[in-house]
Amino acid sequence: MEVITTISEIRTRITKERKAGKVISLVPTMGYLHRGHQSLIEKARAESDLVVVSIFVNPLQFGPNEDYDRYPRDLERDKVIAEVAGADLIFFPSVNEMYPVKPKTYVEVNELTNQLCGKSRPGHFRGVTTVVSKLFHIIQPDFAYFGLKDAQQVAVIQQMVEDLNMPVTIVPCPIVREEDGLALSSRNVYLTSEERSQATILYQSLQKAKEWIGEGITETKKLKDRIRNFIETQPLARIDYVEILSFPSLEPVTEIHSTSQAIIALAVWFDKTRLIDNLIINQNEV
């Protein structure tokens, strides 16, 4: 496995591989890889000839008071995990390589970014779609793999690809969890032992919501109130949002119907650590 740090070098390598007829996959990450990332790489390995993992902590998607500077970074650890999972190349550019000057051009998806994390973190998704667009232009993958833990991100990127006719297939992949249900995240490392114990309330509340829907409680206001009350049983949990929307259109719904797909999305703070989780309700579950 190679680590490539410049755009010119990765483009030269990709051109060579494409001329050889290889199917190319990209797994975009911000590093500090965990089993969730590993599952994406393994799926890409099974479905393509060349697997590229990008590792880039993108400053454009962090707000001024967010955790860009302290975001965990460990390239040597990431290299081991990526290679074991089946990666062929790591693209590891510097900030100066990706943004040699302050950009004047951005990619922005409207409407889908007006709620959930887009509402809580203004400008976040503009940073995400801009850097992902750059990576798609640099790597030109046939497939790109994204975890559904950030389901809004998946919906936004799919919309960008569709609207701009980008020749890449987005492959959404299931959330990977710890044994107690906590969704894997690079930010979990920030949690104290007590916060880590209480953070399982996100997954538990989603499972409770699924039970309540099965019992016939499908009015979204009632469901959201129940979920909020359940999360608030943990004293360290501070709710950012609890929302129920259509998926992937991310439009408000007043009731969960058997004829459509919905998402229950959560964001909860534990001190300075913000965790997200979600549950996508399919038609056969209502």
Catalytic site positions: 37
Q: Are 184 and 149 in contact (CB under 8 A)?
A: yes
Tokens of 242: 């609890």
The helix or strand, by DSSP H or E, that contains position 25, with its residue range, turns out to be strand 24-29
- Which stretches of 38-150 are assigned E, i.e. beta strand? 50-55, 89-91, 143-147
**Residue 1: other Cβ atoms inside 10 A:** 14
Handedness of CA 118, 172, 135, 43 (dihedral sign): positive
Query: Which residue has 């107690």 as its token pair?
Result: 180
Q: If we measure between CA atoms, which residue out of 75, 84, 7, 85 comes closest to residue 43?
A: 85
Q: Are 35 and 78 in contact (CB under 8 A)?
A: no
For residue 227, CA distances in Å to 25, 221, 224, 261 come to 38, 10, 5, 19
Q: Which residues contact 177 (CB under 8 A, 6 or more apart)?
A: 183, 184, 203
Tokens of 2: 């190679």
CA–CA separation, 202 vs 192, rounded Å? 16
